[in-house]
Structures are given as C-alpha cells and as structure tokens.
Structure 1
Amino acid sequence: MLRHLVKLSLLALLACSTPPPAIPSPAATTPSAIEQPSPERAGDQPHLKVEVRGPGQVLIEYSGGQLVRSLTPLTFPNPPATELEGDSPYLDQEVASGVTYQYSLVDGEQVLDSSLARVPPKKLPPLHHPRLVVDKVNYTLSVYDRDERVKRYPFVMGGKPRQRKLCRDNASTPEGIYTIYNLQPQATFYRAYDIDYPNPIDRFRYTFAQRHLELGDPGIGGEIQIHGCGLNGNWTAGCMALRDADMDELFAQPALAAGTRVWIVGREMTMADLEGLSQEHDPEVVRRLQTSLGLKPDGQMGQATREALGLYQHKQGWPVTCQLDQRSLNRLLKQ
C-alpha cells in the first residue's frame, strides 16, 4: 500500500546541499494531493482512534483500511512512513520520544482518516558504554547504554529509504555494523557523526555487483553521517537527519565518541541478521556453509565463500548480502 503513496522527491536526489524548507505541521495540513472521502460516504467512514499510553506507547483502534504511521503528512513527497501490521487494538511500541506522529488509514492512494499522537519527551541520561541502533523501517535511532535502551529519536533519510546502499546514488542509506570515526560539532548540517561507510563488506558487495549484476562503475559513495537539520520528509542524500535539539543532546554526551558502534537495520539486514553475523567467525558453522555451497570446507569466511554465497542468494532471488544472514543460514545449514 505504502509504495503507492511514496513519490520520488527531486530534493532527495540532489546532494546534501541545503536543508529542505519547513513544512506545515500535521495539524495544520489538509491532504489536498490525496483524494479525501466524499460527504456521501460519511456514514461508512473507517474508524480510527489514537491514545498515547505513556513513554514509547501508542494504542490505536482502527478498522477499514491499512494503518500507517508517519512523521509528516502523507501528502509530502516520499513521506517518512511505516505500514503497521496487526489486529485492532494495535499497541505501537516503536515510537520515539517528543514526537507528534500522524496515524492514517489508507486504501491504495486514498487517505480515509488520520489522527495525531504526541509522544511525551524524555531526557537522555548520562551514558557510559553507548551504542546506537538505527531502525530504517520505523525511523527511530535508539541509544543503548550497554544492553539497555535508554531513548529513541526520530530521524529521516533520502529518496530511497527502503533500499540498502550499494553505490553512489544520493538516495539510499547503508545497513550493517558501522563505527563513528569522527565528530563534527560544526558541520554543514548543524552537527554530525561521521560513519565508516564503506566498510569491507560494502566494498565486497560493490565489486560483486560489478562482476555479476551489471552494476557498471557509479562509484561506491561515502560521507554517510548522522546529522541535524530536521525531519522535513526524506530529504537527505542517504544520511540520517535528526532534529537540531536532538543532536545537541547527543553531542552533550562525552561517551558518544569516535569508536562508538552504530548498527543500521532495515528490510535487507534485520536486527536478527546483525546479531547472527557473529556466526561467520565460527569455523564449524562456516565449514557447514562451505559444504552446502560445494566449496572446500576450510572454516574461513574468505572472499571465495562470500562470492559463492552471493551467487547463491542471487539465484534464489534474495537480497545479495554476501553475508550469512538469517535467510541464508536457515536454508543452507538445513541442507
């Protein structure tokens, strides 16, 4: 459903040169670009009721359409929005702090009903051993201290938010395990954390796509950041943009320094995939994988093994990760 609503934003195809103009707040916006229910249908309007239940929880009662959560009105080109799947009443526990969300019922390209939910703010406590988890599906950046999630922030991306970055396209965002390698207190987009894309697996996927997927030579891209300048739609060139006040709060944490791990999860590499990648270092698991792929089982996850794994994934019509993701693990190690 949502792909019918998502329109290509010309702004997102440009390099990150200027932040987007501010848009009207959801409360003041009339979705004029999307067909609204006619007065004749007032008697059979779908039902949508939204209630904030506390920090990080919104309860939605609904019927008669696909439920969608968004950071901006759905009329904005390429809205930062998520389809929510579940029976009513639906308890949404994947929301960030201090955000006004717009919940909508949609049918194809028609908005049937919408309602706003203001999630209360929450202070970020002092951090000691932080790591960041970026959820591209839910548009949240979670801050963990050791294994405890202490706060979630909203963010937006570029013109291809569902796609895992493979090459320079000024639109897609990476997925995988990364590290902050530099901090910019004064950056082009307010403040910025520099992320080490491309990492070795990104480089391998790029050359694999050149050899086997007719990629050509667009360049692998780079300069991926977590930066400021706001949530006005998916406007970046593939970076993750937060509100300036949220960047201030993060930069006030001395422990959020170079060397901090950043996990970026999406539709291609899920949290379960990233958590399971440690098995690539288990010689017995790798030997079983190599045997399934018809390779000599030496227990080393080298380039030949990644190449064979990528070819297998491509043959299956799966995302070509060249990594031991859960789909590949479950299929190949059960053979």
Structure 2
Amino acid sequence: MFKPTRRAVAFSMLAFLAACGKPPSKFKAYNGPAVTQVVVNKGDRKMYLLHGTTVLKSYDVGLGNVPVGHKQFEGDGKTPEGVYFIDRFNPRSRYHLSVGVSYPNEHDAALANALGRHAGGDIFIHGRGPDGNRFAQKNRDWTAGCIAVKDEEIEEVYAMLRPGVPIVINP
C-alpha cells in the first residue's frame, strides 16, 4: 500500500495552489502610442481613442437614458456634448473602473444656473459592473449621463488614458 510522505503531500498542495492561480487583474498595462484625444459620437454610439488622427481603438458605447441632446442639469439623464478633459480615475468604481470627464465647464454651469438648476457632475467613462450588466440587458442607454463600455473594454481605456487628454463628445 502506498503511503505518501510529508514532502510529497506538501509538493502536491503547492502544485494545486499554483494551478489555481490568482484571478486576472483589472489593471492592465499599455505600452503603445499615447492617446491624444477621445472622440465620442453619440448618434453612432461610438467612442474612439486617437493618437493624432490615427484611431488606436474604437468601442460601442451606451449613453445616458435620454441619449439625444446636451446635458443641461443634474438628473436630466443626458450625456454632455462639447469639449472636456479626462480629469480623474476611480479604481473602486461600482461600474468596474471609471475615468472622469471634466463636466461641467463654465458654460454648462451658467446654463444650468439660468434654468434655476444645478449642472451636476460625476460624468465618467465606465464599465458595467454587476448593476450595469443588468441594466444594459434591458436598454443600451442606461446611465445617468455617463459613457458606458464593457468591463474588459474599460480596463483597456483605463490603462490607455492620462489626465488632461481632451474628450470631444459630439451629438
């Protein structure tokens, strides 16, 4: 009858643990050309990451739950239109990962103020996360005004972008 030694048992346990491995990280590395601009075409539901005039990556996107028109105030469900900048990164987003957009600018704040409202904020490019996956199954445009991509796609976007990169959001 075979009786395993302590060494054989320990080696087997180490091999088993190594085979299990760690789950893949959501933080990816990117070593390609710098992204110099992000362009979102709301009508086409497309986002492009550019280096100069070269498209590095393109993504299908979901928008605010009222996808037509420029965001005017907090709670209107619209995604802003205009020129903004990437201004922050949230590694603990409830939507997997998120990259901040500098909305509102001075013009946006003045417009909301003229309407007697608050412009809002917290506009991001983000993944879906568990909540977003449920919403996206029912409606492509499900956010409160953000730009949504799949979780594996936001991992690429998060790695490729840097603060200060302009984002142009077209109707």
Question: TM-score normalized by structure 2?
Answer: 0.72
* Higher RCO structure, 1 or 2 (CA under 8 Å, sep 6+): 2
Q: Distance in 2 between matches of 1:262 and 1:174?
A: 11
Q: Distance in 1 between matches of 2:64 and 2:86?
A: 20
Identity of paired residues, percent? Answer: 28
Q: Describe the SS at the equivalent of 2:100.
A: strand
Aligned to 1:227: 126
Q: Does the 8 Å contact 1:125/1:150 carry over to 2? A: no
Q: Are 2:138 and 1:242 equivalent residues in the alignment? A: no
Aligned to 2:23: none
**Which residues of structure 1 form unaligned runs of 5+?**
1-123, 267-335
Aligned to 1:202: 108
Aligned to 1:137: 43
Q: Distance in 1 between matches of 2:154 and 2:122?
A: 18
Aligned to 1:218: 117
Q: Are 2:86 and 1:187 equivalent residues in the alignment? A: no
Which of 129, 145, 149 in structure 1 is aligned with 2:55?
Answer: 149
The letter for the 1-side match of 2:151 is D
Q: Are 2:61 and 1:162 equivalent residues in the alignment? A: no
Q: Distance in 2 between matches of 1:129 and 1:234?
A: 26
Q: Are 2:164 and 1:265 equivalent residues in the alignment? A: no
Offset, 1:126: 1.4
Question: TM-score normalized by structure 1?
Answer: 0.38
Offset, 1:185: 2.1
Q: Distance in 1 between matches of 2:122 and 2:75?
A: 12
**Which residues of structure 2 form unaligned runs of 5+?**
1-29
Deviation track 1:266-286 (CA, whole Å, cap 9, x = no partner) reads 0xxxxxxxxxxxxxxxxxxxx
Deviation track 1:7-60 (CA, whole Å, cap 9, x = no partner) reads xxxxxxxxxxxxxxxxxxxxxxxxxxxxxxxxxxxxxxxxxxxxxxxxxxxxxx
Counting matched residue pairs gives 134
Q: Distance in 2 between matches of 1:252 and 1:168?
A: 29
Q: Distance in 1 between matches of 2:152 and 2:88?
A: 20
The letter for the 1-side match of 2:81 is E
Offset, 1:158: 1.9
The letter for the 1-side match of 2:70 is R
